[in-house]
Amino acid sequence: MLVETRAADEAALTEQIRAIEAALAGTPTFRPVRFSSDPEECARLWNVRKGMFPSVGAMRRIGTTVIIEDVAFPVPRLAEATLALQRLLAAHGYADAIIFGHALEGNLHFVFTQDFNVAAEIERYRGFMDALCRMVVEEYDGSLKAEHGTGRNIAPFVELEWGADAYRIMRAIKQLFDPRGPAESWRDHQRRSRRASEEPEAAARVRSDRRQVHRVRFLRTKVSVAQADAVAAPAHRRLARDLPSRARGRGCGARLETMRELYDFHGIDTCAACGLCATACPVGIEVGVLIKALRGRRGEPDRQAARALSRGTISAR
């Protein structure tokens, strides 16, 4: 358990630490409870917490999707709810799942990987989500959303949580702004989730020891402040995996070409391909591997022309 406490002065901070230690005195721990005010040690401890999500993503099979959700329970019942969530994940076969969160708010995140390309896997996922939502709402009077917005996972269960009358009002308000209404059907969920699990070629290049790029915010740029406005962060450079999917949209040819031109400069030309991003990434992803591959692909027409010239199959004119 990671506990952070702050105060306006040293005396107040010391008193707060003593109070926390007293509250934990009767709790068995693997190691003695210890607080630190050293900035570097505190940063290392928080990095463990921040690295949990990408660590699960690093172990996923290509073609699967990393799912993260967050629910909330009444704080007095948080401990038993955590155990119930563990049992529910195990019962549905999600052995790779992890749970973490913010105890002060009764907020739990859980992360696991899911395959949306197999009918049986989709049905397993549907069963888990249905059981989860009913457990949170009916057994614990909790919230299906804590700090994240209501996305496609939870949309089918808004009425379960809020009741028919409130749900009817929500739909009426939303349809004023979006006549298509909320996507609450499992068919929409399945279609969109399958699209999210597609693995363009670019993603397969950016991995080492099964460490694949996924949609996380943890890749940070290693550039000076003077360069920061002109240089894309590694997390933005991996947008190359998204560009091919844009080509399937309707009437987006000109927009796609503009995106490619912008990406060529900000995403490829400004990258030093030095590998420093891997030192900041919790799972060691080096985006420079992708950039080198993209640069090599961009120069292929010139290499083909040079080979043809060397064979004498075309004239230098």
pTM exceeds 0.75 for this model: no
Q: pLDDT tens across 126-151, in order?
A: 999 999 999 999 999 999 998 887 77
- Rounded CA separation 196/60 (Å): 14
- Rounded CA separation 72/90 (Å): 20
20, 29, 134, 137, 189 from 129: Cα distances, Å? 36, 33, 9, 12, 12
HSE (side-chain half, CA atoms, 13 Å) at 114: 27
pLDDT greater than 70 at residue 243: no
- Rounded CA separation 174/178 (Å): 6
Scan for tokens 């990408």, then name that residue: 54
Q: How many residues does the chain have?
A: 317
Residue type, 66: V
- Rounded CA separation 89/99 (Å): 10
- Rounded CA separation 257/95 (Å): 43
Ordered DSSP codes for 199-257: --HHHHHS-SSS----S-S-------HHHHTTS--HHHHGGGGTHHHHTTSTT-HHHHH
- Rounded CA separation 280/174 (Å): 41
Q: pLDDT tens across 71-89, in order?
A: 999 999 999 999 999 999 9
- The residue-averaged pLDDT of 274-294 equals 78
pLDDT value, residue 257: 76
pLDDT value, residue 13: 95
Select from 118, 309, 283, 297 the least CA-distant residue to 200. Answer: 297
Fold of 63-194: Alpha-Beta Plaits (3.30.70)
Within 8-118, residue ranges assigned H as helices are: 10-23, 39-50, 52-58, 78-91
pLDDT value, residue 305: 80
Select from 84, 97, 4, 86 the least CA-distant residue to 43. Answer: 4
Beta-ladder partners of 112: 67
Q: Answer yes or no: are the C-beta atoms of 161 and 143 closer than 8 Å.
A: yes
188 vs 61, residue with greater confidence: 61
Alpha-carbon dihedral 81, 83, 87, 89, rounded to 10 degrees: 70
pLDDT band with cut points at 50, 70 and 90 for residue 278:
confident
pLDDT value, residue 299: 77
Residue type, 241: R
- The residue-averaged pLDDT of 238-252 equals 53
pLDDT band with cut points at 50, 70 and 90 for residue 282:
low
Give the max Cα distance, the chain: 86
pLDDT value, residue 225: 36
